[in-house]
Structure 1
């Protein structure tokens, strides 16, 4: 979850002329001069969003690269997800919430006996935070409808880049973000470990791969391309980066280790950006079946520029086209198997559907 500061919260003057020049020369869709001239310290964040819906401005002390891995933190080991006014817990493998028995994508009903209905997301997030060793009481509706109360002790937690989970007969690998230089190597190491474990138990390598992208909001686009290339032959077009003035660049699969097992990708409305490109590429080649709901619809990429005063401007610099030349922007990806809301939150059910589809 990203909390965006309002324009009135800027602590010092932004380098406006520097920002104007970058947007004028580099943004995917050049803004009108009148839009650039209208920007001021008081309305910068608002005007940036009017020019580019994905543009952001960060003061130096609040910036964290979206391409870097998530560091350790103290908490319940779950992300808070808001959908249609309801709140759900995206539970991390090995975190405090999972160890307490909370199922992934459980709906949050109460925190310490207080209802979360009609409470804003920032206040709910604050209620879940606390010092290491303190506990919080959570009343949730688990996938399938069962209402349960759990006492969760907050603890230090380091998330995995690729989370192995076993909700049924098949192993599922969850990717929440494509991290440059890390996700591909983590996936290879995980597949190698699971392959050795499977051979030791059954004498055969697992013949199905299910990747959970329901909470994958993006990350490093080139890392997503590299991971997709693990499942496609050398030279296959993975996508095309389209910048201004017909500056288009095809991205192709490289050589190296390839995997040929049947694949299913679990997707939903929160699957976006690099994760959508990864899923769309494999779907178009027939390498993976998509199960879930239509994805977010963001096939554009942003870049972060460090400004002279240490602050950072993020802006859209390219559109990504899938192998067939189309873009998912504004439309998302249509799954091969569409499911209802309750089914989308039930990982065990989704795995059974993947098993039947593959």
Structure 2
């Protein structure tokens, strides 16, 4: 069988990247083909002259990764390993620490720890930088390499060196790996108030929220005074599950719309009849770690005047990523649309502004810890309609409703001020005394 010249193969591969239709071919700029020729020339030079022998697949993947990285922070190519990793995270069962991380200027940055995970219990916080693993510097490596080192067999330990704003020097934390079973929804009854904690939007989250609402009614033997829906440090997940969760609390109206490149490319999602929360008062808790699907829920309930959103401004990820299969084991995760709340707001960059800004007074690092949001990511999508509320957020005047120190609050039995204030708010809205006792599930 005759050998197929590599250059000819790459030329065919490169030209295949351009849609082959009569109209497209007629409109293709000659400069595009010249650029593709340059790409092929560079590829061949590296293969022939680089100091060490390189793997062709590694070069091609690097070129694809670079192309997608030039677009936005959320588009990416998933090879077989990445594809399996994404499936594992969506299904929610893997051995590791329970961290959502990103790469920023060559450093690994924590977006959020998963609640009740080893990292969460060890006190790792959003905005922390991980500089060393087991004493070895990881700066300048890839995110995949860092994640691989943090994951491992349950029962084994890993030492993380953390750099945190407000601390004079780095500090070490040794964490024991566990099986991370993502339970996206947990619920309990606080006095006469239903508390629903949604920490991820993986499959069946909407069903789990529906079950939580039913379980709260059964545990009390009657309807509660209202509900606190906790979306803090929720990094998002599946769009369909965000729609399902919103629908649990809404009886009608639009939940979210997504809009693509073409102005006519609009898809809208609506609530079906039936409010499983009985029309009772709702407080939604959010913070800078509430992103994507969490923002869809908060924005829908806020715009439909169904809930009071409380806490701090959310992350601001208002883009939709579509998984486009390329083979049985590879896919393209491509940003294809932006989503908008029912009133037509895009949360891209700006996030969801709470109806009531409530500081987390029980957290000693609350004031000094930097907030990491979509607008801090390189090449993030620009929202021309973003409202700048930085002056409002930097207002240092003390609100008389929000006073106290972590120590004074702890002496009163308050370890989560935002949640405590939300529970008291529901009680006030229902004209009942504040919730005290706790019944857990």
Question: Normalised by the size of structure 2, how large is the TM-score?
Answer: 0.59
Question: Following the alignment from structure 2 to structure 1, what is the Cα–Cα distance between the partners of residues 238 and 290?
Answer: 14
Question: Following the alignment from structure 2 to structure 1, what is the Cα–Cα distance between the partners of residues 114 and 303?
Answer: 30
Question: Following the alignment from structure 1 to structure 2, what is the Cα–Cα distance between the partners of residues 49 and 138?
Answer: 27
Question: Following the alignment from structure 1 to structure 2, what is the Cα–Cα distance between the partners of residues 136 and 208?
Answer: 42
Question: Following the alignment from structure 1 to structure 2, what is the Cα–Cα distance between the partners of residues 119 and 53?
Answer: 18
- Greater CA deviation, 294-303 or 34-43? 34-43
Question: Following the alignment from structure 1 to structure 2, what is the Cα–Cα distance between the partners of residues 205 and 297?
Answer: 34
Larger-Rg structure: 2
Which has more helix, going by share of residues? Answer: 2
- In the alignment, which of 243, 261, 271 is matched to residue 290 of structure 2? 271
Structure 2 equivalent of residue 187 of structure 1: 209
Structure 1 equivalent of residue 434 of structure 2: none
Give the C-alpha shift of residue 281 in structure 1.
Answer: 0.9
Give the C-alpha shift of residue 162 in structure 1.
Answer: 1.0
Give the C-alpha shift of residue 90 in structure 1.
Answer: 2.3
Structure 2 equivalent of residue 159 of structure 1: 182
Structure 2 equivalent of residue 241 of structure 1: 258
Contact 1:111 1:127 in 2 (8 A): no
CA RMSD of aligned residues (A): 4.6
Q: Give matches, 1:135-174, under 5 Å.
A: 135=157, 153-164=176-187, 172-174=195-197
Give the C-alpha shift of residue 155 in structure 1.
Answer: 3.3
Structure 2 equivalent of residue 29 of structure 1: none
The answer to whether 1:251 aligns with 2:266 is no
- In the alignment, which of 220, 223, 246 is matched to residue 241 of structure 2? 223
- In the alignment, which of 62, 79, 92 is matched to residue 59 of structure 1? 79
Q: Which structure would you say has the larger RCO, counting Cα contacts within 8 Å and 6 or more residues apart?
A: 1
| 3-state SS of 1:44 partner | helix
Question: Following the alignment from structure 1 to structure 2, what is the Cα–Cα distance between the partners of residues 19 and 173?
Answer: 47
| 3-state SS of 2:268 partner | strand
Q: Describe the superposition over 1:268-305 as per-residue Cα deviations: whole angstroms up to 9, x where unpaired.
A: 22222222111111111221222222122222211111
What stretches of structure 2 of length at least 5 have no aligned partner?
A: 1-9, 24-28, 40-59, 370-405, 407-414, 427-441
Question: Following the alignment from structure 1 to structure 2, what is the Cα–Cα distance between the partners of residues 176 and 87?
Answer: 16
Q: Describe the superposition over 1:298-333 as per-residue Cα deviations: whole angstroms up to 9, x where unpaired.
A: 222111111258531121222222111221112111
Contact 2:188 2:216 in 1 (8 A): no
- In the alignment, which of 156, 175, 188 is matched to residue 134 of structure 1? 156
Question: Following the alignment from structure 2 to structure 1, what is the Cα–Cα distance between the partners of residues 71 and 32?
Answer: 7
Give the C-alpha shift of residue 161 in structure 1.
Answer: 2.4
Alpha-carbon distance change, 257 to 331 in structure 1, aligned in 2, over 3 angstroms: closer
Q: Describe the superposition over 1:123-167 as per-residue Cα deviations: whole angstroms up to 9, x where unpaired.
A: 876665443333467899xxxx9xxx9986433342212133689
Q: Describe the superposition over 1:35-61 as per-residue Cα deviations: whole angstroms up to 9, x where unpaired.
A: 898575353222223234432112233
Question: Following the alignment from structure 1 to structure 2, what is the Cα–Cα distance between the partners of residues 350 and 116?
Answer: 37
Q: Describe the superposition over 1:223-272 as per-residue Cα deviations: whole angstroms up to 9, x where unpaired.
A: 211211121123x1112222224122332111245312222222222222
Alpha-carbon distance change, 221 to 252 in structure 1, aligned in 2, over 3 angstroms: same
Alpha-carbon distance change, 150 to 248 in structure 1, aligned in 2, over 3 angstroms: closer
Question: Following the alignment from structure 1 to structure 2, what is the Cα–Cα distance between the partners of residues 36 and 176?
Answer: 47
Alpha-carbon distance change, 154 to 208 in structure 1, aligned in 2, over 3 angstroms: same
Alpha-carbon distance change, 115 to 51 in structure 1, aligned in 2, over 3 angstroms: closer
Question: Normalised by the size of structure 1, how large is the TM-score?
Answer: 0.70
Give the C-alpha shift of residue 211 in structure 1.
Answer: 2.2
Question: Following the alignment from structure 1 to structure 2, what is the Cα–Cα distance between the partners of residues 340 and 90?
Answer: 19
Question: Following the alignment from structure 1 to structure 2, what is the Cα–Cα distance between the partners of residues 162 and 171?
Answer: 13
Alpha-carbon distance change, 320 to 35 in structure 1, aligned in 2, over 3 angstroms: farther
Structure 1 equivalent of residue 318 of structure 2: 299
- In the alignment, which of 185, 200, 206 is matched to residue 177 of structure 1? 200
Give the C-alpha shift of residue 216 in structure 1.
Answer: 2.1
Alpha-carbon distance change, 231 to 319 in structure 1, aligned in 2, over 3 angstroms: same
Q: Describe the superposition over 1:337-357 as per-residue Cα deviations: whole angstroms up to 9, x where unpaired.
A: 224474599971111121344
Contact 1:69 1:161 in 2 (8 A): no
What stretches of structure 1 of length at least 5 have no aligned partner?
A: 1-12, 26-31
Give the C-alpha shift of residue 186 in structure 1.
Answer: 1.1
Question: How many correspondences in the alignment?
Answer: 326
Contact 2:111 2:289 in 1 (8 A): no
